[in-house]
Each structure stands twice: as C-alpha cells, then as structure tokens.
Homo-oligomer: A and B are copies of this chain.
C-alpha cells in the first residue's frame, strides 16, 4: 500500500474544493471591492490568461460564489460580482492578504491590491 489509509475529507478540504487553486483566491480577492468586468479582472491579475480567467470564473459561477451579468451591448460587457456566499469568504481572503503583507515586510498598510 502507498496511500496511508481510507477516506475522510475535513472542513479545510471542502473550502479548498470551492476556492482552491492558483487563480480563484486572487480573483475573489479583487471582487471583494465590488463588481468588475472581465477586462478589469484581467488587468488586475496580469499573469492570468483569458482562457484561465474564463475557466475559473465559470467554476466560481457554478459554485454560486459569483454571478455573471451580460449586458447586451456592442461590444459586449460582462460583469462579475460576489454572491452573499462569495462574500462569506472574505475572512479567509483578508487573512491571506494580511499574512502576505506581513511576510513581505510591510505593516498592513495600503493598496498593493484592493482593500487597504
């Protein structure tokens, strides 16, 4: 045997299944400040590609963490916004930001990112 036992799945794993991965926490963190359109998110997260952004947004939408609103204009406009469930992730996202700020030296001051 190489797995060490049978099954479980603790609460942390549940959370990770919803907001885990490379992009989701970052996307959600930016959305804490309010609705954003696709291109805004892309600009806020320079390292993400269109494809990844689309894929991750779709998954978050399926999980009911965000909503997607299409405005039937030309050129199209699509806005993404946290649902209440999505907003309930705020404590996690904020503590992640705080830890990162501390780790990089700074006191939890203002905006390298949304939210001072």
Contact = CB atoms under 8 A, between A and B. Distances in A.
Contact of A96 (B15, B46, B48, B51): B15
Q: At the interface, is chain A mostly helix, strand, loop or mixed?
A: helix
* Chain A interface bracket (under 10, 10 to 19, 20 to 34, 35 or more): 35 or more
Interface string A1-44: 01111111111111110101010011001000000000100111
Contact of A8 (B45, B50, B53, B97): B45
Nearest to A85: B103
Number of copies: 2
A11 B100 contact: yes
A92 interface: yes
A32 to B, nearest CB: 10
A92 B3 CA distance: 27
Nearest to A29: B12
Interface of A: 2-16, 18, 20, 22, 25-26, 29, 39, 42-51, 53, 88-89, 91-93, 95-104, 112-113
